[in-house]
Copies of this chain bind each other. A is one copy, B any other.
Amino acid sequence: MGTDPTTRDPAAAGVGSAEDVLDLVRRHGGRVTSARKLLVHALFDGRGHQSAEDLAAAVQAQAPDVHLSTIYRNLDELEHLGVVTHAHLGHGPATYHLAAEAHGHFVCEECGAMVEVPDTLFSGLSRTARAHFGFEIDPHHFAVLGRCAACTARDA
């Protein structure tokens, strides 16, 4: 991956809709269950940074007795398929989103504000990391902490 915006699994590339994802699941020998269907739709609908619990709530709005562990298991599977990824934005729960929408995050340690950051911002770091350490960074998984503009101003 690195800063390259394409997804890891070639089969997951070009997955543009919930139906595409479900097709992919089927092609991998998976079954399209109602829980899975609802979860995938929740991922496409509620575009953003949803925790497993958020997603569970969204799914349970349609099918109340889908269990949280089912959500975790399905997120796990979708992650293996390269369709979704999770990111850690702080000390709380992880947030899940479509892999195709991967981007970096800045999170304010003081107020918790979060900024979505285009990958291009990391290209310099990406280059030096590769040059100095042969390391291919993936700037999406962990947020970069710090202090947002507002808090920096207030503290000064």
Could you tell me which A residues sit within 8 Å of B by CB distance? 1-2, 88, 106, 108-109, 115, 117, 121-122, 124-125, 128-129, 132-139, 141-149, 152-153
Selected A-B contacts with CB under 8 Å, 8 pairs: A106-B133, A121-B128, A129-B144, A134-B153, A135-B149, A137-B144, A137-B146, A142-B143
Whether B121 contacts A135 by the Cβ 8 Å rule is no
Contact of A134 among B109, B121, B152 (CB under 8 A): B152
Assuming A125-B125, A128-B124, is B138 touching A146 (CB within 8 A)? yes
Give this chain's copy count.
2
Nearest 5 CB-CB pairs, A to B?
A134-B149, A142-B142, A137-B146, A124-B124, A141-B145
Whether A149 contacts B133 by the Cβ 8 Å rule is yes
Provide the residues of chain B in CB contact with A109, threshold 8 Å.
138, 141
Nearest residue, chain B, Cβ from A121: B128
Provide the residues of chain B in CB contact with A143, threshold 8 Å.
142
Point out which of A1, A146, A152 has the most chain B C-beta atoms below 10 A from its C-beta. Answer: A146
Provide the residues of chain B in CB contact with A124, threshold 8 Å.
124-125, 128
Nearest residue, chain B, Cβ from A144: B137
